[in-house]
Amino acid sequence: MTSLISDKMFVIDQSRCIGCESCVQACEECGTHRGQSLIHLEYLDRGANTQTAPMVCMHCEDPTCAEVCPADAIKQNEDGVVQSALKPRCIGCSNCVVACPFGVPKYFALPDQMMKCDMCYDRTSVGLAPMCASVCPSEALWYGTPAEFEETRTGELMFEFQFGRQLVPTQVATVVRDPNQGPVDVMGGQPTAGWQDDPFALEGE
C-alpha cells in the first residue's frame, strides 16, 4: 500500500532507532506544527534495554480519532492523511486522545486544539519527505517509493496492527523481519497470526 501522495510511503523500522531524538527536534520546525513536536519516542522495556521506537501517526484507513470527534473537527483528506483538528471546530474534549489505539493525538492548551502528526503535509504534498524522515541518521523513519524500498532496504512491510480483537489497517508501514508474521499485536506485545492468539481469549475456550 502506498500513500496517494506521489505514490510514496512512510515506513517505520524501530530496529534502526538509536534514540537520538533528531526527529523530535525536526518535527517542531514543520511549518504546520506551530513549534510543537508531534512525534515522540517510546522507550521499550526500559529496565532491560535502551531500545527506543519513534511514534508518529499511523494514518489509519478508518481513523478512530475522526469517528469519535463530536464536533467533526478531524478530517481525512483524499491523500489518506489524517489532519490535526480544525481550530474553529475543536472543542478540546480529548475524545480522540483516548480513542486513538496508538496514543498519538495530543491536546495543547495553546493553541487550545488537538494536534497530531499530519505527515508534514506542507512538505509531502509537494513531493518532499516529512521532516522527521529527512533528518533520521539511521533511516528508522523512511519515506520513498516501493521500488526504492525494494532496492535499498530489507524486511517485510506490515500495514496492519492488532489490538485485542480489533485489526487496524494503516497507511504508514512498519518493518518486520519474518515474512510469515501476522499483524503486529500491540497489546499482547508479540506478533500474532490470527485470533487464536488473542490476548483477551479466555483459557479453555
Distances (CA, A) of 125 to 2, 6, 103, 129, 150: 14, 8, 25, 9, 23
Contact 80, 173 (CB under 8 A): no
Tell me the whole-structure pTM to 2 decimals: 0.80
Q: What is the largest CA-CA distance in the chain?
A: 54
C-alpha torsion 5→14→131→58, nearest 10: 40
Residues 6+ apart with CB under 8 A from 132: 22, 23, 26, 27, 39, 54, 56, 120, 141
Q: How would DSSP label each residue in 34-76?
A: TT----EEEETTTTT---EEEE----BSS-HHHHT-TT----B
The domain segmentation of the chain, as residue ranges, is 58-116, 154-197
Residue-level pLDDT, tens digit, the chain, 205 residues:
445 456 899 999 988 999 999 999 999 887 777 788 999 888 877 667 778 889 999 999 999 999 999 999 999 988 889 998 888 899 999 999 999 999 899 988 878 889 999 999 888 888 899 999 999 999 999 999 999 998 988 888 999 998 888 899 999 999 987 766 667 666 554 443 333 333 344 444 4
Please report which helix (H) or strand (E) contains residue 27, including its range. helix 22-28
Cell for 81? 492523511
Q: Class of 58-116 per CATH? A: alpha beta
